[in-house]
Structure 1
Amino acid sequence: MSNTGKRKPLVAEKRYAKAAPKKAAKPAKRNTKRRSKPKKKMGLLGYLFAPFKFLFRLIWKLTWRIAAIAILLLGGAVAYTYTTLPELEALLDGRTRGSVTLLDREGVVFARRGDQFGGPVTAQNVAPALKNAVVAAEDKRFYRHLGVSPRGIASAMRINMREGRKPWQGHGGSTITQQTAKLLCLGVQFDPAKWSSEAKYEADCRRTTLARKGKEALFALAMEAKYTKDEILSIYMNRAYLGGGARGFEAASQNYFGKPAINVNIPEAAMLAGVLPAPSRYAPTGNLQRARDRAATVLRLMREQGYITSAEEAAANAAPAGLSKAAAARAGGFFVDWVMDSAPSFLTRDTTEDVIIKSTFDNRLQTAAEDALEFVFETKVSAGSKAEAAIVVMSSDGAVRAMVGGREKVTGGFNRATEAKRQTGSAFKPFVYAAAMDLGFQYDSTVVDEPFTINIPGSGAYSPKNYSRDFKGMMTLTDALRQSINTVAVKVSEAVGRDNVRDVATRFGIDNALADGPALALGASESTLLEMTGAYAGILNGGNAVTPYGLTELRLKGDDAPLMGKEGGIGERVITPQAAEQLIYMMRRVVTDGTGTRARLDDREVAGKTGTTSAAKDAWFIGFTSDYVVGVWMGYDDNTPLKGVTGGGLPADIWRETVARATAGTPVTPLPMIRPAKPPRVQPVQPQQQQTTTAQSPRQPQRQQRRQTTEDVILDVLGKIFGN
C-alpha cells in the first residue's frame, strides 16, 4: 500500500525537554586551605630532639610572660619610689652634723672640723673643667644611660671574679646615678637610735650585697625619672665626701685651694675628681704626690674622652695643683683637738650647726715649734728613736699660742701636751722656792747642802741625794736652785711646810694629787705639760694664777652674738710681786750659769728650770722670755728610761730652737726681775759628814743672821742678870 499524502519524517523521540538557555558559569571557589604536607618521617634525630623543642617552646612562653610581669612590677616599684623622692633643694645638703671652722688670733681660718659644707652648687655653676673631670673619671656614659649601665656592671663582675671575689663584691660598676643613690642611703634617713654615729650609718649605707644592689638600681631608675641628668650630678657634687671633713666640691675646693669651685682650673679639677674613689687615700692633705699621680690619671681620661686637648693635659701635668697655704700647713691638729674638747660637745664634735670658733692660735709660733722639734730629732737624736716630745707655747696670761702633742702631725691622736701625766722632777722646785719667797725668805738666804735623814712615820727613814752624789755645804737659795740641789729643796720644803708648798702649786694650776711625803719637793707628783707651763706663766706675770685657754669666742655661722666667750686667763694672786721678781731672777741664773745653759739666747733674757725624774724616764725644760712661756717634755710613752738625756740637754735644745724661731725679729724686752749689783755668794765651808735627824731651816742673809746672833747674846745676858 502506498501513501499518497505528505509524510512526516521519521525521527527518534526526544528524551529531554528543550534545554533552558545556559547561564555564565561561576568560577569554582578556590580552596584556600593549605593542603597539609605529607608528614615527613622524623627519623632518629627528630625523635631525640623533639622533647627539647617542646621544652624550648614552653620556656619561651613562660619567659616572655614572666618578663612582662617583671616589667610591670618594676615599673610599679619605680613609680612608687618616684613618689617618695623629695624636691632637688632638699637633697643638696645631706649632712647629719654640722661643721666647726677655727680662726687664729688674727681671724684667719687655719683649721676645720666636722662636715664642712661650702654651700650648694649646681652642675651649671661650677667650673666646666670640674664637671667634665667628674664625668670623665666616674661615669663616661653618664649622659647616655638610664641610671644603670649593664656594660659597666658586667665589666665590674668580671674584674671581681678575676680577682677572687664574689661577682658583686669589690668593683661595683656603679654609675654616678647609683653612687648618688648610695649617698642618699636609698632614701633612709639617719636615726641616732639605730646608728650610734654618722660613720656607722654611712658604713651601713655602703654595704654591698646582691639585694642591696638591686634596690640601688631601682632607686637609680626612679631618680632618672624624677630629675634631669644635671640635677642628679648636682646632688652628687654636693653630697660626695672628698676628705678632710669636706662634704661636697665647694667645701673641698675651699679647703684645699682656698677658692670657690667655680674658679678651679684644670689641674685642680682633676685633683678634686681624683679624690672620689678613696678620699682617705687620695686627699691632697694626706699625700700631695699621691693626689697628683691620681690627678694625672683623671687628666688622661679627660683627654681620651675629648674634654681637654693633649696640649692642655701636658700643661696640667707640668704645673700640677698645689695646696693653699692654710691647707699645706695642716696647722694646729693637737691644738684644735684640745680647743674642741674645751667646749661642750654639742657645739663642737656633735654639733648639728655650723660653728665658728675664734682662738688664740698663732700659726707662726706653731711652725716654729714644729720646725724646732724636727730639727733637734734630725740632728741630735739617733735615727729610729721612738722617743716622743711635746711643746706648749703660751703667753703670760694663759693664752696658748701653739701646741705640739707628739712628733707625728695627726688629728685625734694622743696629745702628750694635755693628756700625758708624768712625774715633773726638778721642774717642780720653783714652787717650793715660790712658797719660801712668799713667806719672807730671800734670794740670798743661805742653807747648808749636807746629808740628812727624815724619819717618816709609817715609812721609815728618808735621805735625799743630789744628782752629783756630793754635798756643797753652805749656799744661797739662788745657787741651790741654779744647781738643782735636792737636799736644799727638801730642807726648804720642810721649813715652810709641805702644805704651803702644795697650796702654792695647786693655786698656780697643778691640778693633780700631790705627794704627801718630803719627796714632794723633788717632783714626785705627776702633772701635764700644759699645767706646768701654765703654772710657770703665773710666775712670769708677777705671781697671779692663770687658766690656760685657747677659745676666745664661739658663735653659730651667720650669727653676730657669741654663744661662748673666753673661759680662762689671769686669776687670783698666789705669791707677792716681790717674791715673783726674786724667783724669776733665781730662774734666770739657772740659764746663765746653772743646769739650763743650753737654753740661753744671745739676744734676750731667758729664765727657766730643768727637770729630770728618777731613772730618766722624763726630761723637762720649762722657761720664759718676757714674751712667751714655753714648756718642753721628752720621754717614751712606755716609760722606757732615756739614755743620756736630762732636762738640761735635748729638752733645753728644743726649747732654745723653738724660742729662737718664735722671737726672731721681735722687740727685746727685759724680764721683770730683781737685779742685784752682785750675784749672791757665800764662802764655801766644809760640809758636815754626819747625818742629822731633822732638816735645818734655811738661814737668813749673813748680815741679818749676825744681827739675830747679837740680839740672842744680849737677851741671854739680860736673862742671867734679871732671871727668866
Structure 2
Amino acid sequence: MSGSGRKPPLVADRRYASQSRAGAAAKSRSAAGKTKSGATARKTARRKAPRGGFLGRIFGGFFRLIFRIVWGVTWRTGAVVGVLLGLATFYYYSTLPPVTQLLDGRSRGSVTLLDNEGRVFAWRGETFGGQITAQNVSPHLQHAVVATEDRRFYHHLGVSPRGIASAVRINLREGRGPFSGNGGSTITQQVAKLLCLGVPFERETQTEAEYEAECRESSVWRKIKEVPYALAMEAKYSKDEILTIYLNRAYLGAGARGFEAAAQRYFGKSANEVNPSEAAMLAGLLVAPSYYAPTRNLERAQGRANVILGLMAEQGYLTSAELSQSRSNPARLSEAAEARAGGYFADWVMESGPSFLTRETTEDVVIRTTLDQRLQRAAEEALAHIFETKVREGSEAQAAIVVMSSDGAVRAMVGGRRTQVSGAFNRATQALRQTGSSFKPFVYAAAMDLGYHPSDWVEDSPLTIHIPGSGPWSPRNYTNDFRGQVTLTEAFKHSLNIPAIRVSEAVGRENVRRVAAEFGIRSDMAQGPALPLGASEATLVEMTGAYAGLLNGGNAVRPYGLLELRLAGDNQLLIGKEGGIQNRVISERAARLTTYMMREVIESGTGTRARLPDREAAGKTGTTSAARDAWFIGFTADYVAGVWMGYDDNTPLNGVTGGGLPAEIWREVMVRVHEGLPAHPLPLDVPEPPVPLDVVVRQHSSGAAPAPVDPYRDPATGNYPAQAQQPQSLDNAIDQVLREVLGTFLPN
C-alpha cells in the first residue's frame, strides 16, 4: 500500500515575500529619487522662470533695496535715539531734587495787607498759600484738574503721543504753527515747563520776565527736551507727587501761585475745602489765568467753570445730580475778593515802605494798615452815585477822595473812578494840581495865629499890584463884583479873592507859606501875591492832611497808612507807624477860630451843598483858573475828607465849581461814613459879633482901635510903620512899599 502513502503539505515559496519586500524597497527608493529629482527640477524651473519680465525684476529689486536701506537707517536711528533718550532721562533723573523742594515756585515774595481790624483786603506780589498735596486736597479739585488738563494722567508714562498729534492737527487746521496754541502736553510735561526743565532763575543775569519767557518757549526743540525730563519725573516721582508739584506751582491769576493761594484769595477758604463749583472755577484758570480770573469777570469765570463741570461729569467724577446742583449754585467770590477794597490805598502803602520789603521783596510780608473797609466802600459808593446821577453819560472827568482821622491815619482812598484796579495812576497821591481857594484856610489861619480875629474888617474893592517883570496885576473875585468893607468871616465864607490877598499881604506871604508848608504842603509855593488864590500845586492827600491839622488843634500831621510790617509767621516788628501828629504849627486858638470860619462856609457860604443833616461840618471850596480843578475839603469832629475833580489832561470842567459836584460828593461820602456814629460838636470858638464899621473908624481915628485889615498895620499894636503912616489907599500903600524894596526895577 505503498501507493497510498500521504504526501507532505504544500507550503508557499517564501521567495515571493522577499521579492515583495525588495520590490517595495526598490519602489520606495525609486519614488524618493523621483521626488528628489522632481523637487530639484521644480526649483531649477523656478529659478529659470522669468518674474514679470525684465522691468518687473528691475523695479522689484529697487524697492527691495530701498526697503533694506530705510529699515537699516530706521532701526539704527531708533537705537541711537533710544540710547540718547535713555541717557538724557538718566541725567535729568539724577538732577531732580526731593518733591518738597519744588513746591514753592515763586521768584519773589508776597505782601498781604490787613485792614485796621486785621482782615485781609489786598495782596501784592505772588502769594503762596502753603503746601498742599494731592492726597489732602479736595477730591473735587483733583478731579477737576485731571479732567481738564490730562484725562489719561494716571495711565501714561509722562508723554502722550496721541495728545501731541491731536494738538498739532488742531493748530495746523487753525492756521497756527504746529506747537503754537494747543500744546497737547500732559500734566507731567506742564510740570516740566513749570520747573523750567530744572534751569534756576539767575537774578543777577536776567529779569523775571526774561526767565518766564524762556520757560514758556514753545519751540520744537523745547518740546523735544520736555520728553526726557517728563520721563525722568515719572521714574523719580509717583503720580500723586507730580500732581502735588502741579497743584502748588501753577499760576492762577491775581498774584496767586498754587491752588491753596488761589482758593484763599478768591473764596476765603483752603483748597482742601472747595466744593465742585469752586474746584471747577479754579481749574478753569489754568488755560488763561488773567482772562478767566473771577475778580476780573465773574460771569466769564462761571461760564468756564460750567464747561469743567461737564467734563467732570463726562469722566465719571460727578453724578448727574451733583452736576445739576453745582451748576445751579455757581462759585462766588469771598467778601474781600469781591470788594477788592483799597486798590489805590494798597498801592500807596506799598510805596510808603522800603522796596526790598514791599515791591521787590523776596520774603512773604504782612502789613497791617489803617484802612477801614466800611469807609472805603462808603467812598466808592458815594463817588459812583454822584457820577451816575449828576454827571452826563460819557463824561471822562475824574475824581479822587481821601478820608482820614485827625491824626493823619488814612481810612479810605479812591484814586479815580475805576476803583477795582492795581498799579493804576492814583490821583489822590500822584496828581499835583492847583489848589484854588482851598488854599485860603492857611492864609486866614496865619492871620488868626498873629492875633487877627474873624470879626475884623477888610476891604473888598478893586486892587492893582505892580509885579516886577510882569507889570500891573488886577485880581478879581469869582463873581466879578465887590462888596466893600466885609469881615474876615464874610470874606472867607464867600471865598472873596481881593480880601484874601489883602490879608496875605498884611500877615506876610512868608508867614502864609510857612504855615502851609508846616501843615504838609510840600510842593514849591507861589512867590507872588497870587499865593492866597491857590496858584501853587499840591496832591489831595497833602491837602487833606493839612486840613487835619486844623481839626486837631493846630498840629501838623503826616498822613500814613502803614501800622506794622512783619515777615509772615514772625512776630518781630520790622517797621512800625511812621506818620501821625507832628509839631505844632499854629495856636489852638487860631485853629478853633479858623474852624469857625470854615463852618460858616458850609452853613451859609459857598459850600452849602455839603451841609450834613445831623452834625456840624467845616470845609472850604476851591476852583482854579478856567475851572480845570474843583475841590472840596472839610471835616466833622470825627473825620477829615478831601475831594478833587477834574480832567487828567487839564480840560476845563463845564459848569463845575468846588461848591458844586465836589461838595456833593463830599456830602455823600460823609453821610455814609457817619452812619451809626453819634454827632459830636466841632472844636471851634464862636467869636463875638463884629464891631460896626463906623465905630471901628471912629475908634481908630481916636487911637483907641486899629484900622480895618491892611498890609501895613502892626497886628500887635494896631499902629502903622513910620514910612507908611495912614496911606491914602491900599493900592498906593502896596505900590509905595514895593518901590522902596525894589527901587528902580519897578515900572513907572
Once residues 370 and 538 of structure 1 are traced to their aligned partners in structure 2, the CA distance between those partners, rounded to angstroms, is 25
Alignment correspondent of 2:303:
293
Q: Deviations over 1:665-703 (max 9, x none)?
A: 101110000124658876899xxxxxxxxx9339899xx
1:376 counterpart (377, 380, 386): 386
2:290 alignment partner, SS class? helix
Once residues 153 and 86 of structure 1 are traced to their aligned partners in structure 2, the CA distance between those partners, rounded to angstroms, is 28
Preserved CA contact (<8 Å) 1:609 1:622: yes
Alignment correspondent of 2:19:
none
- The offset of 1:192, in angstroms, is 1.3
Classify 1:680/1:545 alpha carbon distance in 2 versus 1 (closer, same or farther; 3 Å). Answer: farther
Q: Deviations over 1:444-472 (max 9, x none)?
A: 11101000111122221111110000110
Preserved CA contact (<8 Å) 2:455 2:688: no
* Pair 1:422-2:436 in alignment: no
- The offset of 1:705, in angstroms, is 7.9
Once residues 293 and 694 of structure 2 are traced to their aligned partners in structure 1, the CA distance between those partners, rounded to angstroms, is 67
Once residues 237 and 681 of structure 1 are traced to their aligned partners in structure 2, the CA distance between those partners, rounded to angstroms, is 81
Alignment correspondent of 1:12:
none
Preserved CA contact (<8 Å) 1:149 1:175: yes
Q: Deviations over 1:245-280 (max 9, x none)?
A: 111111111111111111111111111111111110
Preserved CA contact (<8 Å) 1:115 1:246: yes
2:283 alignment partner, SS class? helix
Preserved CA contact (<8 Å) 2:455 2:687: no
Is 569-578 or 669-678 further displaced after alignment?
669-678
TM-score, length-normalised on structure 2?
0.87
Alignment correspondent of 1:654:
665
Q: Deviations over 1:206-250 (max 9, x none)?
A: 111111111122211111111111100000000001111111111
- The offset of 1:559, in angstroms, is 1.3
Question: What does 1:253-332 align with in structure 2 at a 5 Å threshold?
Answer: 253-332=263-342
Once residues 39 and 391 of structure 1 are traced to their aligned partners in structure 2, the CA distance between those partners, rounded to angstroms, is 106
Q: Deviations over 1:169-199 (max 9, x none)?
A: 1111111111111110111111112322x23
Once residues 260 and 244 of structure 1 are traced to their aligned partners in structure 2, the CA distance between those partners, rounded to angstroms, is 17
Classify 1:58/1:457 alpha carbon distance in 2 versus 1 (closer, same or farther; 3 Å). Answer: same
1:252 counterpart (254, 257, 262): 262
* Pair 1:500-2:511 in alignment: yes
Alignment correspondent of 2:102:
91
Once residues 682 and 713 of structure 2 are traced to their aligned partners in structure 1, the CA distance between those partners, rounded to angstroms, is 27
Question: What does 1:352-367 align with in structure 2 at a 5 Å threshold?
Answer: 352-367=362-377
Alignment correspondent of 2:128:
117
Matched letter for residue 418 of structure 1: T
Preserved CA contact (<8 Å) 1:474 1:684: no
* Pair 1:546-2:546 in alignment: no
Matched letter for residue 355 of structure 1: V
1:344 counterpart (354, 360, 370): 354
Aligned residues: 677
Classify 1:495/1:446 alpha carbon distance in 2 versus 1 (closer, same or farther; 3 Å). Answer: same
Alignment correspondent of 1:15:
none
1:261 alignment partner, SS class? coil
Once residues 118 and 449 of structure 1 are traced to their aligned partners in structure 2, the CA distance between those partners, rounded to angstroms, is 65
Once residues 96 and 232 of structure 2 are traced to their aligned partners in structure 1, the CA distance between those partners, rounded to angstroms, is 8
* Pair 1:697-2:711 in alignment: yes
- The offset of 1:284, in angstroms, is 0.9
Q: Deviations over 1:489-534 (max 9, x none)?
A: 1111111111111111000000011011011110001000000000
* Pair 1:578-2:578 in alignment: no
Question: What does 1:556-571 align with in structure 2 at a 5 Å threshold?
Answer: 556-571=567-582
Alignment correspondent of 1:387:
397
Q: Deviations over 1:326-373 (max 9, x none)?
A: 111101000000000100010011111111101000000000000000
Once residues 678 and 275 of structure 1 are traced to their aligned partners in structure 2, the CA distance between those partners, rounded to angstroms, is 69
- The offset of 1:200, in angstroms, is 3.2
Once residues 692 and 282 of structure 2 are traced to their aligned partners in structure 1, the CA distance between those partners, rounded to angstroms, is 68
Q: Deviations over 1:386-436 (max 9, x none)?
A: 000000000000000000000112100000000000000000010111111
Once residues 692 and 275 of structure 2 are traced to their aligned partners in structure 1, the CA distance between those partners, rounded to angstroms, is 71
Once residues 694 and 147 of structure 2 are traced to their aligned partners in structure 1, the CA distance between those partners, rounded to angstroms, is 85
Alignment correspondent of 1:531:
542
Once residues 684 and 118 of structure 1 are traced to their aligned partners in structure 2, the CA distance between those partners, rounded to angstroms, is 76
Alignment correspondent of 1:70:
81
CA RMSD of aligned residues (A): 2.5
Matched letter for residue 85 of structure 1: L
Once residues 310 and 277 of structure 1 are traced to their aligned partners in structure 2, the CA distance between those partners, rounded to angstroms, is 25
2:632 alignment partner, SS class? strand
Once residues 545 and 680 of structure 1 are traced to their aligned partners in structure 2, the CA distance between those partners, rounded to angstroms, is 33
Preserved CA contact (<8 Å) 2:284 2:301: yes
Once residues 689 and 678 of structure 2 are traced to their aligned partners in structure 1, the CA distance between those partners, rounded to angstroms, is 27
Preserved CA contact (<8 Å) 1:473 1:684: no
Give the unaligned 5+ runs of structure 1.
Answer: 1-21, 686-694, 707-711, 714-724
Is 112-121 or 626-635 further displaced after alignment?
112-121
Question: What does 1:204-223 align with in structure 2 at a 5 Å threshold?
Answer: 204-223=214-233
Is 658-667 or 56-65 further displaced after alignment?
56-65
2:174 counterpart (158, 163, 169): 163
Once residues 348 and 287 of structure 1 are traced to their aligned partners in structure 2, the CA distance between those partners, rounded to angstroms, is 28
- The offset of 1:48, in angstroms, is 3.3
- The offset of 1:145, in angstroms, is 1.1
1:321 alignment partner, SS class? coil
Preserved CA contact (<8 Å) 1:596 1:609: yes
Alignment correspondent of 2:737:
none
Alignment correspondent of 1:613:
624
Preserved CA contact (<8 Å) 1:445 1:699: no
Is 388-397 or 256-265 further displaced after alignment?
256-265
Matched letter for residue 62 of structure 2: P
- The offset of 1:113, in angstroms, is 1.3
Matched letter for residue 500 of structure 1: N
Once residues 552 and 39 of structure 1 are traced to their aligned partners in structure 2, the CA distance between those partners, rounded to angstroms, is 105
TM-score, length-normalised on structure 1?
0.90
Preserved CA contact (<8 Å) 1:372 1:658: yes
Alignment correspondent of 2:732:
none
2:491 counterpart (477, 480, 490): 480
Matched letter for residue 41 of structure 1: P
Preserved CA contact (<8 Å) 2:487 2:690: no
Q: Deviations over 1:43-82 (max 9, x none)?
A: 2334334312311221112111111111111111111111
Once residues 590 and 508 of structure 1 are traced to their aligned partners in structure 2, the CA distance between those partners, rounded to angstroms, is 21
1:269 alignment partner, SS class? helix
- The offset of 1:31, in angstroms, is 7.9
Preserved CA contact (<8 Å) 2:147 2:315: yes
Once residues 641 and 605 of structure 2 are traced to their aligned partners in structure 1, the CA distance between those partners, rounded to angstroms, is 18
1:621 alignment partner, SS class? strand
Classify 1:48/1:571 alpha carbon distance in 2 versus 1 (closer, same or farther; 3 Å). Answer: same
Once residues 394 and 423 of structure 1 are traced to their aligned partners in structure 2, the CA distance between those partners, rounded to angstroms, is 21
Classify 1:311/1:397 alpha carbon distance in 2 versus 1 (closer, same or farther; 3 Å). Answer: same
- The offset of 1:298, in angstroms, is 0.2
Q: Percent identity?
A: 64
Preserved CA contact (<8 Å) 2:455 2:689: no
Preserved CA contact (<8 Å) 1:447 1:698: no
Once residues 78 and 98 of structure 1 are traced to their aligned partners in structure 2, the CA distance between those partners, rounded to angstroms, is 32
Once residues 523 and 491 of structure 1 are traced to their aligned partners in structure 2, the CA distance between those partners, rounded to angstroms, is 15
- The offset of 1:96, in angstroms, is 1.2
2:127 alignment partner, SS class? coil
Classify 1:500/1:311 alpha carbon distance in 2 versus 1 (closer, same or farther; 3 Å). Answer: same
2:49 counterpart (40, 45, 68): 40
2:531 counterpart (520, 528, 550): 520
Give the unaligned 5+ runs of structure 2.
Answer: 1-21, 697-708, 720-724, 727-748
Once residues 668 and 555 of structure 2 are traced to their aligned partners in structure 1, the CA distance between those partners, rounded to angstroms, is 28
Alignment correspondent of 1:202:
212
Alignment correspondent of 2:684:
673
Classify 1:60/1:683 alpha carbon distance in 2 versus 1 (closer, same or farther; 3 Å). Answer: farther
Once residues 493 and 435 of structure 1 are traced to their aligned partners in structure 2, the CA distance between those partners, rounded to angstroms, is 8
